[in-house]
Amino acid sequence: MSFIDKPFRDYAPGTQPDNDSPAYKSTVLRHPAQPRVKIPQTVTELAGPRFSPEKFPPTDNIAVNKGKEALGERIIVEGRVLDEDGRPVPHTMVEIWQANAAGRYNHERDQHDAPLDPDFKGIGRVFTDADGAYRFISIKPGAYPWGNHANAWRPNHIHFSLFGPGYATRLITQMYFPGDPLLALDPIFLATADEAARNRLVSVFDLSITQPNWALGYRFDICLRGRNATPMEDADAHHH
C-alpha cells in the first residue's frame, strides 16, 4: 500500500459544524435526521479530480474587469494550503466568490437594495504553487442583510472552494475579516462548537502582504485533511 492509498484522517471533534443547527433557519428542513453511515475510504474516496490551469484558466485579480477597476477597498489575500501534518498541498485549485464592496452579489437572486458594480463580477480561480501558496487580489466585500432573523447581517466574507488530493478532502468554507462585530452574532459562524476552530476562519491583517499606496494584505491559511499516520497496512509492510 503506497502513501497515496493511506486513508484521510477523521475530523477533530467539534471542529466542523453540525448540519442540525436550528439557529441557522435554512438548516431546519435540510439537515438529514438519520446518522451518517461510516464507510471505509476506497479508491473512490482516496482519489479525486485533477484540475489543470490549462483547462481551467486562473483569474487572480478580480478587482479589475476588462481593464476597469472595481469600486471598494483593494485587498490582497495570500495564504498556504497545508494538510494536518503541515505538508503543502501543491497545485490544487482554489475557487473564490464574494459580494461587492456594497454587500451585493452579482447574482439575479440577490435583491439586497445596494448598488451593483459593473466592474466587479466577484469570482476568481487560483492554483497553489509547489509550496501550497496561493494569492489573489480583490476588493473587501461588504456586509449584507439576510432573512434569518430580525436585523440579521452576514459578516464580511469571501467564499472558498477547494478539492485537495482526494474526494474526501473536499472543502467549502468562508474567510472572514479581523475585528468584525457581526461575527459574534452570526449563526453560520457560531454553528461550529470549537471556538478556536471557528476563529481560524478569520483572516489576519498582515502588513508584510500590504502594498504601500495600493492595497491592504490579509493572510488566510487553509488546512485540508491529512493522511492517517498508522494504517494497519504500514505494520504489515515492515514484515516484508
Partner 1 sequence: MHTTTSQTIGPYWHLLEDKSWADLTRFGAAGEVITVEGHVFDGAGAPLTDACVEIWQSSPEAGDDFTGFGRSATDSAGHFTFKTIKPGPVPGPGNTLQAPHLAVTVLARGLLIHLTTRLYFEGEAANENDPILGLVEAPRRGTLLARETSAGVWHLDIHLQGDAETVFFEI
User: For residues 133-172, which are near partner 1 according to CB under 8 A?
Assistant: 159, 161, 167-168, 170-172
Clarify whether 154 is annotated catalytic.
yes
**Whole-angstrom distance, CA of residue 187 vs CA of residue 225:** 25
CB of 214 to partner 1, least distance (A): 26
Grid cell, residue 20, equals 442540525
CB of 8 to partner 1, least distance (A): 8
Task: Considering the candidates 80, 104, 154, 200, report the single residue annotated as catalytic.
Answer: 154
The H or E element that residue 161 is part of is: strand 157-162
CB of 178 to partner 1, least distance (A): 16
CB of 160 to partner 1, least distance (A): 9
Indicate which single residue of 1, 4, 11, 73 sits in contact with partner 1 (rule: CB under 8 A).
Answer: 11
**Whole-angstrom distance, CA of residue 73 vs CA of residue 51:** 31
Task: Considering the candidates 24, 105, 134, 218, report the single residue annotated as catalytic.
Answer: 105
Task: Considering the candidates 24, 134, 144, 218, report the single residue annotated as catalytic.
Answer: 144
Contact map string, positions 112 to 131, toward partner 1, x by CB under 8 A:
---------xxx--------
Q: Is the dihedral of CA 190, 172, 180, 150 positive or negative?
A: negative
For residue 234, how far is the Cα from the chain centroid?
32
Indicate which single residue of 64, 65, 90, 95 sits in contact with partner 1 (rule: CB under 8 A).
Answer: 95
Of residues 28 and 211, the one with the C-beta less far from partner 1:
28
Contact map string, positions 39 to 58, toward partner 1, x by CB under 8 A:
xxxxxxx-xxxxx---x---
Clarify whether 157 is annotated catalytic.
yes
Footprint of partner 1 on 12-41 (CB under 8 A): 12, 15-19, 21, 24-34, 36-41
- Would you give the end-to-end CA distance of the chain in angstroms? 12
- For residue 112, what are the contacts with CB-CB under 8 A and spacing of at least 6? 103, 104, 144, 145
DSSP 183-224: GGG-HHHHTSS-HHHHHTTB-EE-TTT-BTTTBEEEE--EEE
# of chain residues touching partner 1 (CB under 8 A): 76
CB of 20 to partner 1, least distance (A): 9
Grid cell, residue 47, equals 482519489
**Whole-angstrom distance, CA of residue 56 vs CA of residue 53:** 5
Catalytic residues: 105, 144, 154, 157, 159
